[in-house]
Amino acid sequence: MKESNFSEEFGFTEELDLHDDFSAEEIIADADLLDDELLSAEEVSGEELAELLNVDDIIADEAVSENIEASAEEILHEDLEAPTTADELMAADHAMYTAGLQHPEDAEFRFDDETIDENALSVEEEPQAAQEAPVKPVSRPKERPVRKGRPQRKKGAGMLGIPHMLAAVVWLLIIVAIGTTLGRLLWVCAADVLAFGREDKDVVISVTTDDTMESIAQKLQQAGLVRYPELFLLYADLTDAEEDITTGTFTLNTVYDYHALVSQMSPRSGARAVVEDVLIPEGYNCRQIFALLEEKGICKAADLEKWAAEGDLSEYWFLDGVERGHKYCLEGFLFPDTYDFYENSTPRAALEKMLDGFEYRVSEEMRAKIPALNEHLTAMMRKNGDSEEFIAANQFDIRDVVNVASLIEKETASNQESYTIASVIYNRLFNWGSTPRYLNIDATIIYALGGKSDLTAEDMAVDSPYNTYTNVGMTPGPIANPGLASIEAALDPESTSYYYYVLDPDKGAHQFSTTLAEHEKKIKQIYGD
């Protein structure tokens, strides 16, 4: 029989023979000694205890291990006293044998690698002789249940298993990089918006009616006034700058910020280039005025024509009743004068400047003369034997006055004869007798022909409502924009019996006649046969 492993590990030098006879007192003494040794081992760690016990051979057979554990559990739950006699000892040995311990060499201890409790050790002694008293087993707790589920993250590890310190450093670097980028971006944008670091110099840009906000931004960039046109467009959109920017030629400085740029391109800007002392001659028609404004760089003729036909001009009282839609429908109301225009002005601004001139110069006092004019014309028509219906249909308003004034303007050689020319026109209209009332004015045909001055017999027969040789009465509208003298003459004509006049180039004035024979005679005197 082999020596007990238990005796080797705990220093027993004497071999235990299963066949030796021991008294009950001796067995109890040995058991007490074993308890003392186990108690002294409570302060030893699991690894030290395993080394102390020299547990080298862990049973590999799971079935045997389970039998051992079952036997130990059965023994632990039995409330038995230690055997004290040889018969009792033999009975205990037999019980262990039948429980699965075939041989002491087959019984080995199994320790949990992770957890060793001081109360978890159960030491089995090799089976001894029947008379040997068994050692009281030490209770072994149940194994800790294994927790299932997601494996626990190692302490001190962050996302993706990166240690917290490393993760913090990475995040810090990311934040710094983003902050630096945003800071640089904000600085670049602020420098452009606020015009930091630019050279101080003046530049000139022109904004026309064809420009959009995108093209304006591009012009500003090309002139060195902004670096980023997209940023300027964003600013313009947020501040509704498009409503403030007008057409024109502007002298701007590179140190202007976005707000200053918009302000200096507004209609009230002092940076706007002005075309000074533009003379609109008396007697110019709309076609001639529009061509002149385009020539001066004020506005395109096509834009002026479009606005004249379609623009909102309802604020001007004297345009009530004027048929709109035609490019020259403002004829007669663009007052001739000397004006200062903005370069690259809007068509509305240019036209309104001349319409304002008409409203200002044709005073209330002048307009008050219209009733007196109608009384004078009514007396003429009644003397001529015209019906009351005819008389009612020929009561003048401001548009009729301007129409007559335009004829006077084109036919007079000087303001001194304007009142006499006015009398001739009214006599032809309302004091012609029983014959058709033809004005027979060459200037109306010239207007119908677009400015042709050398008239032929064919020209005199042109099919146009402005041909006063073929159409009775007034023209559909003015043929020119009359000056103040012609308007005053139309309001207060001279009372004469003249029906004819011919220009004397040598005198620079007209010769007037009452009869046709007298008129033809004067023509021969001036021009010969």
- Residues 4, 124, single domain; the answer is yes
Residue pLDDT, tens place only, 28-42: 455 454 445 444 444
Residue pLDDT, tens place only, 158-193: 555 557 788 788 788 888 888 788 777 777 888 888
Query: Where does the pLDDT of residue 88 fall: very low under 50, low under 70, confident under 90, or very high at 90 and above?
Result: low
- Residues 384, 476, single domain; the answer is yes
Instruction: Please give the structure tokens belonging to residue 302.
Output: 């096509």
- Of 410, 401, 298, the residue nearest 351 (C-alpha): 298
Conformational region of residue 159, where left means phi above 0, alpha means psi within -120 to 50, and beta covers everything else: beta
DSSP string covering 269-301? -TTB-EEEEEE--TT--HHHHHHHHHHTTS--H
What residue type is 436 in one-letter code? P
Query: Where does the pLDDT of residue 507 fall: very low under 50, low under 70, confident under 90, or very high at 90 and above?
Result: confident
- Residues 389, 304, single domain; the answer is no
Q: Is residue 264 part of a domain?
A: no
Question: No. of H helices and E strands in the chain?
Answer: 21, 6
For 181-224, strand residue ranges (E) read 202-207
Q: Is residue 336 part of a domain?
A: yes
Q: Is residue 69 part of a domain?
A: yes
- Beta bridge mates, 500: 513
Instruction: Please give the structure tokens belonging to residue 148.
Output: 């299932």
Q: Which domain holds residue 401?
A: 365-498
Residue pLDDT, tens place only, 146-161: 555 555 555 555 555 5
246 compared with 115, residue with greater pLDDT: 246
Residue pLDDT, tens place only, 240-283: 999 999 999 999 999 999 999 999 999 888 899 999 999 999 99
**139 CB contacts (<8 Å, ≥6 apart)?**
76, 119, 122
Q: What is the mean pLDDT of the chain?
A: 78
Alpha carbon of residue 130 to chain centroid: 103
**What is the per-residue pLDDT for 110?**
45
Q: Which residue reads 């799971």 in tokens?
A: 62
Residue pLDDT, tens place only, 210-233: 899 999 999 999 999 999 999 999
- Residues 429, 289, single domain; the answer is no
- Residues 305, 420, single domain; the answer is no
Q: pTM of the prediction?
A: 0.63
Would strands 202-207 and 248-253 be described as parallel, antiparallel, or unpaired?
antiparallel
Instruction: Please give the structure tokens belonging to residue 474.
Output: 């007034």
Q: Is residue 230 part of a domain?
A: no
Residue pLDDT, tens place only, 280-336: 999 999 999 999 999 999 999 999 999 999 999 999 999 998 988 999 999 999 999
- Residues 142, 14, single domain; the answer is yes
Q: Is the pLDDT of residue 194 over 80?
A: yes
- Residues 95, 35, single domain; the answer is yes
Q: Is the pLDDT of residue 433 over 80?
A: no
Q: Is residue 213 part of a domain?
A: no
Please give the average per-residue pLDDT across 398-424, as a whole number.
94
Please give the average per-residue pLDDT across 525-529, as a whole number.
84
- Report the alpha-carbon distance of residue 114 to residue 293 in Å, rounded: 102
Looking at 147, 166, 185, the residue that finishes a domain is: 147
- Residues 22, 134, single domain; the answer is yes
Looking at 118, 147, 176, the residue that finishes a domain is: 147
- Beta bridge mates, 203: 252
Q: DSSP 3-state assignment of 204?
A: strand
Looking at 328, 361, 394, the residue that finishes a domain is: 361
**What is the per-residue pLDDT for 196?**
84
Please give the tally of structural domains in the chain: 3
- Report the alpha-carbon distance of residue 298 to residue 272 in Å, rounded: 12
Q: With contact defined as beta carbons under 8 Å apart, do 513 and 498 qualify?
A: yes
To the nearest 10°, report the CA torsion of 414, 419, 424, 429.
120
- Report the alpha-carbon distance of residue 403 to residue 491 in Å, rounded: 11
Q: Is residue 191 part of a domain?
A: no
Contacts 24+ apart (CB under 8 A), 193-200: 193/231, 193/235, 193/257, 193/258, 194/257, 194/258, 195/254, 195/255, 195/256, 195/257, 195/258, 195/260, 198/224, 198/254, 198/255, 199/224, 199/254, 200/253, 200/254, 200/255
- Residues 385, 300, single domain; the answer is no
Q: With contact defined as beta carbons under 8 Å apart, do 167 and 117 qualify?
A: no
